[in-house]
Amino acid sequence: MKIGIDLVSFHAPAYFLDLRILAGKREVDPEKFVVGIGQERMAVVPPDQDIVTLAANAALPIVEKAGRENIELLLFATESGIDQSKAAACFCHKLLGLPSACRCLEVKEACYGATAALRLAAAMVAARPQSKALVLAADIARYDLASPGEPTQGAGAVAMLVAAHPRVLALDPEAGFHTEDIMDFWRPNYREEALVDGKYSTRMYLTTLIEAWNNYKAASSRGLPDHAHYCFHLPFTKIAYKSYARLCKADGVAEPPKEELERLVDYALRYNRQTGNTYAACVYEAFCSLLDNAPAALDDQRIGFFSYGSGCMAEFFSGVVQRGYRAHLFADQHRAQLDVRVPVTYRQYEDIFNYGVPRDGADHVFAPYRGGPFRLAGIKDHKRRYETK
């Protein structure tokens, strides 16, 4: 029985900062950001959006299209948690009007969380084929102002309906994974911004890619020619090119010419270049980008996925795009959403960055900004109040 992604939807905040403006402010050559790391814009999250609203906004088109019946599991992958106890999934469960007979929980392992959630969801569906799971991944990537990580900030959310006989992607059962206890990137509970050893994290990403790839090859007997395209975890898009080059080197094959390399990895990079790092959502944002932007249909093609979470956990896995998948995409909504985003000035970016969520529990009301149907209306008695526009 095939199990996998039945529907997948992506949501980005309605504001962005052009990285050329940031480069000017930081007195850096803009080419370093645009070409050197491969990023053009970073999503900016207004005060009335958070991971809950971003994820619910991503999921709404799915539940409106597929209905809410048989969704027995709601998993929320994030490393930008809003509460140390209550799962962000519980808030989304209410906003989305899901059935009460539904397990809700939050999953964390840095950017790897959504892949863990997808695997758990697929396992539940394998055991109960009539059931469905909704996997949400949402994050807000924050580094210190003027730090090397700053141009790789971003935000966004992905929602995936996991079901038997999926309409978009059937997951292959084989996967290769690798874990190691390292401190490459982390965020202690008392900090809003991540701490990172950037160069070390990049080295570990690429090293564990090969560990996971070798384990995947051993488990599946597949190699590079078996995959039509690749979706890599994208802390910045340039890493996709470096990753594919590493896979070629590991397998002792020559790197393909530039055009072929672009065909293999580039369609998956389009959205991330506009949003920046979306942490847990990244690989699946890349998948949306590939599905929406590949000029030729991907029916029956196998896609290779690499998911990396600092700390660290790495997994290489694959899936086969299902025939007729194009009729089940939200490509027009994705494009329209990115097309109408509003640019912010450097000053507005910094003001929003420094606008901390109040911690005193007193009444607080958030002014309405642009965004999807769900918003954070305010905080009262230390409780977040969400509303539907």
Tell me which residues are annotated as active site: 79, 111, 233
Instruction: Report the site for ligand HMG in 295-334 (rule: CB under 6 A).
Output: 308-310
43 phi, psi to nearest 5 deg: -65, 140
Q: Give the range of 29-37, 314-322, 345-353, 361-369 binding ligand HMG by CB under 6 A.
A: 29-37
Decide whether 70 or 202 has the Cβ nearer to ligand HMG.
Answer: 202
Q: Give the range of 59-67, 219-227, 231-239, 346-354 binding ligand HMG by CB under 6 A.
A: 231-239
Question: Closest distance between ligand HMG and the C-beta of residue 146, in Å?
Answer: 11
Q: Is the peptide bond before 111 cis (omega within 30 degrees of 0)?
A: no
Region for residue 309 given its phi and psi (left: phi exceeds 0; alpha: psi -120 to 50; beta: otherwise): beta
Decide whether 86 or 108 has the Cβ nearer to ligand HMG.
Answer: 108
Residue 277, SS3 per DSSP: coil
Decide whether 35 or 218 has the Cβ nearer to ligand HMG.
Answer: 35
Q: Give the range of 55-63, 128-136, 192-200, 378-386 binding ligand HMG by CB under 6 A.
A: 192-200
Decide whether 31 or 64 has the Cβ nearer to ligand HMG.
Answer: 31
Q: Within 10 Å of residue 336's Cβ, how many Cβ atoms?
A: 10
Report residue 145 as tokens. 């102002």
* Residue 207 buriedness (CB in 10 A; 0-12 / 13-18 / 19+): middle
Decide whether 36 or 47 has the Cβ nearer to ligand HMG.
Answer: 36
Question: Which residues, in sequence order, are CB contacts of 70 under 8 Å at separation 6+?
Answer: 130, 131, 132
129 in Cβ contact with 2 (< 8 Å): no
58 in Cβ contact with 95 (< 8 Å): no
- Show the binding pattern over residues 144-173: x = contacts ligand HMG (CB under 6 A), - = does not: ----xx--x---------------------
- Show the binding pattern over residues 276-295: x = contacts ligand HMG (CB under 6 A), - = does not: -x-x----------------
Cα distances (Å, whole numbers) of residue 389 to 12, 57, 197, 341, 376: 17, 11, 41, 18, 10
Question: Closest distance between ligand HMG and the C-beta of residue 30, in Å?
Answer: 8
Report residue 240 as tokens. 């996709």
Cα distance between residue 183 and residue 148, in whole Å: 17
Q: Out of 91, 185, 232, 305, which residue is the one contacting ligand HMG (CB under 6 A)?
A: 185
Decide whether 110 or 268 has the Cβ nearer to ligand HMG.
Answer: 110
Q: Give the range of 10-18, 67-75, 229-237, 330-338 binding ligand HMG by CB under 6 A.
A: 229-237
Through-space distance between the first and last CA atoms of the chain, rounded to whole angstroms? 40
Q: Out of 6, 50, 79, 106, which residue is the one contacting ligand HMG (CB under 6 A)?
A: 79
Report residue 238 as tokens. 């340039």
Q: Give the range of 196-204, 209-217, 260-268, 295-303 binding ligand HMG by CB under 6 A.
A: 196-204
Question: Closest distance between ligand HMG and the C-beta of residue 36, in Å?
Answer: 2
Q: Out of 2, 20, 25, 32, which residue is the one contacting ligand HMG (CB under 6 A)?
A: 32
Task: Tell me 35's DSSP state.
Answer: I
Question: Which residues, in sequence order, are CB contacts of 53 under 8 Å at separation 6+?
Answer: 95, 371, 372, 374, 375, 376, 386
Question: Which residues, in sequence order, are CB contacts of 90 under 8 Å at separation 6+?
Answer: 104
**Which residues contribute to the site for ligand HMG (CB under 6 A)?**
29, 31-32, 35-37, 79, 110-111, 148-149, 152, 185, 196, 198-199, 201-202, 205, 233, 235-236, 277, 279, 308-310
